[in-house]
Amino acid sequence: MELDPLHEDRPEETGASLLRQCIGATAKTAGIAACISLAGTLCGVVAFFLKSGQQLPEIPKEGFTASETEMSAFGNLIMIGGSLIVSLIAFYYLFGFSRKARIAERQQLPGMLTGALQRLEGYFKLWAVLLIIFIAFMILSLISGILFSGAGA
């Protein structure tokens, strides 16, 4: 980006203005990403419920009792519900960041910009916590797999 000749002798202002512009541009893209992501999740949830409501041919579930089949269906429901909740929380943080940052950039409100950045922090904190939980589950299932295969042998 070229330096504004009126502010060439004040690089701090140029840098601060460039930073505000970049945060504003990031906020705009983040808002679009948040809306698309939520729309995709909602479509997926609707598709799941519509497809599960359809009449499917009876497939004999050899080796599985009726209660086990019901449990796996319940598990799918839990997963869909969980992904919807996570999407909604992520949308709240990301869209909140987008809205506040754009207002702060237009009206030059540093306090609101800090609030917007706190929403962005919350968004990344959410995904970091989910990743850690996912890794913890992976390790637990690995350990239980090793223990049960050892007990079975």
- Using CB under 8 A as the criterion, which residues of the chain lie in contact with other proteins when the complex forms? 12, 15-16, 18-19, 21-23, 25-26, 29-30, 32-33, 36-37, 39-40, 43-44, 46-47, 50-51, 110, 113-114, 117-118, 120-121, 124-125, 127-128, 131-132, 135
Residues 6+ apart with CB under 8 A from 53: none
Question: Which residue number, 12 or 67, has a Cβ lying nearer to other proteins?
Answer: 12
Nearest CA to 120 among 39, 34, 38? 34
Closest separation in Å from C-beta 20 to other proteins: 9
- Hey, what amino acid is at 151? A
Count of Cβ atoms closer than 10 Å to residue 97 Cβ: 25
Question: Which residue number, 1 or 153, has a Cβ lying nearer to other proteins?
Answer: 1
Question: Which residue number, 21 or 69, has a Cβ lying nearer to other proteins?
Answer: 21
Question: Which residue number, 34 or 151, has a Cβ lying nearer to other proteins?
Answer: 34
Closest separation in Å from C-beta 128 to other proteins: 5
Closest separation in Å from C-beta 11 to other proteins: 9
**H helix intervals, the chain:** 11-53, 66-107, 110-152
Closest separation in Å from C-beta 42 to other proteins: 9
Question: Which residue number, 126 or 151, has a Cβ lying nearer to other proteins?
Answer: 126
Closest separation in Å from C-beta 57 to other proteins: 14
Determine the Cα–Cα distance for residues 106 and 69; give it in Å rounded to an integer.
55
Angle at 97 between CA 91 and CA 102, to 5 degrees: 125
CA distances from 13 to 17, 20, 21, 100, 101 (A): 6, 10, 12, 22, 18
